[in-house]
Structure 1
């Protein structure tokens, strides 16, 4: 197995390779290519900018053939990216428990960012979306939305995954945070725009497993895949930059134990 580990040492790479080989996980893990556009972080966000760079270099495995119901080894999720988040030192950090794709979750995180950064002067504030329920559907790419007709799970309001489309306002003056039509306003609420501000979106494996079960139950399974294979295909089509976690509830506890405030 070849793993691109960014800042990880060669010895760490060899150790992970041997471990993965021992449990039969032959794969190539690649770094996320998120934040291809310029960041929208505020001046002075030294720690946050450094984290964003490390997360962009952290490997993501997206070539699963099958996945188990319960993930029991770090190689089955994005453990290096998750470790980077858990290791983040600034005290201003918040973990959002997001479950409803049609809810105001993106706007609420945007408001928290604006308040923490400019009202309370915490430029390194980190917001993490621990995403499950129907909200997790927003983290799939258009290919999987089309193939599996995910509108059937997301609701008629979402004929397509509009939440991964960044709006034109993101090209406005990034220095003017008071602009009511700018990238920090309610006119540009999208997952890519929030990612450019340093928000980390995590996708719950348990939610993916349950969505695969729902698709099989409703007969939306064009390739007649097994449950484990369909869940793997969904996992392989998470949008770039997303961090795969073994489960939302359990990961929220891990985040709280290292100082993330629950929202």
Structure 2
């Protein structure tokens, strides 16, 4: 199956990478002298909240952002069988990440506590255990996969129904107001590192990687067809391709969440099930 790389997505990724590169050039000043893991100071690039001293994590963010995303699919098969059918370059960079402090989260329920748990894990690793290069990766499938589609797909395919109630729109992809708080005040209970900022963009700014599941996309496409929510009368191959093309910015497409988890575990990622 021929696949075309989305140049616009790649250029956006390069823009994010340039922002990260700019962050790396900022002086590594900590709010408290000599402590690793202090957040970026106010006035540094808003696109990133990676902690000072996170050389490896910053480099990974740069590489993943610059890697191409394929978002011009016309059709996709049930089982992906070639690297050019998923975000192979970006995923390979994640799997090759060298620091030992890294977790792979298994997230399936959009209404579950997954974003809050990941935020807490990053906070403890960065400020309690002083691991500024800590990497959290979340492999997303089940109803949680719906959170990785943009709002046009939610509108067109009535994805609030797949989310199972409690969501009228994809609020998890919308930045919270707390994200604009002073990033040097990491103990602020209403700030950028608090439960008031539990959203996907906030975690992405901290280096958390969101991995999308092709198998979940395929199955959700089939469910939409079976329930008559298919306004263009697309085949399952074409509808799954359209959903894939509308993954939100920064997401890494994998051939399957549960199939990718063993690759991450073999590379030293610690498995966590978040429901």
- For normalisation by structure 1, the TM-score amounts to 0.89
Q: Distance in 1 between matches of 2:267 and 2:56?
A: 16
Matched, 1:146 2:123: no
Aligned-partner SS, 2:77:
coil
Written as runs of structure 1 = structure 2, the 5 A alignment for 1:59-98 is: 59-98=68-107
Cross-structure match for 1:220: 229
Q: Distance in 1 between matches of 2:11 and 2:200?
A: 15
Residues 108 and 143 in structure 2, CA contact (< 8 A), matched pair in contact too: yes
Q: Distance in 1 between matches of 2:216 and 2:164?
A: 16
Matched, 1:46 2:55: yes
Residues 77 and 237 in structure 2, CA contact (< 8 A), matched pair in contact too: yes
Unpaired segments of 5 or more residues in structure 2?
20-45
- For normalisation by structure 2, the TM-score amounts to 0.85
Matched, 1:136 2:170: no
Matching residue within 165, 168, 174 for 1:156:
165
Cross-structure match for 2:2: 25
Q: Distance in 1 between matches of 2:76 and 2:215?
A: 11
Residues 75 and 241 in structure 2, CA contact (< 8 A), matched pair in contact too: yes
Cross-structure match for 1:211: 220
Residues 32 and 56 in structure 1, CA contact (< 8 A), matched pair in contact too: no
Aligned-partner SS, 1:254:
helix
Residues 33 and 241 in structure 1, CA contact (< 8 A), matched pair in contact too: no
Residues 93 and 259 in structure 1, CA contact (< 8 A), matched pair in contact too: yes
Q: Distance in 1 between matches of 2:204 and 2:11?
A: 12
Matched, 1:56 2:44: no
- Displacement after TM superposition at 1:156 (Å): 2.0
Residues 78 and 218 in structure 2, CA contact (< 8 A), matched pair in contact too: yes
Residues 95 and 127 in structure 1, CA contact (< 8 A), matched pair in contact too: yes
Cross-structure match for 1:6: none
Q: Distance in 2 between matches of 1:174 and 1:102?
A: 27
Q: Distance in 1 between matches of 2:77 and 2:151?
A: 24
Residues 95 and 264 in structure 2, CA contact (< 8 A), matched pair in contact too: yes
- Displacement after TM superposition at 1:168 (Å): 1.2
- Displacement after TM superposition at 1:176 (Å): 1.2
Matching residue within 113, 119, 124 for 1:110:
119
User: 1:19-70: CA deviations, max 9, x gaps?
Assistant: xxxxx41413432735474210111111111111111100000000000000
Displaced runs of 4 or more, over 3 A:
34-37
Q: Distance in 2 between matches of 1:127 and 1:66?
A: 31
Q: Distance in 2 between matches of 1:132 and 1:197?
A: 21
Residues 3 and 70 in structure 2, CA contact (< 8 A), matched pair in contact too: no
Q: Distance in 2 between matches of 1:87 and 1:97?
A: 19
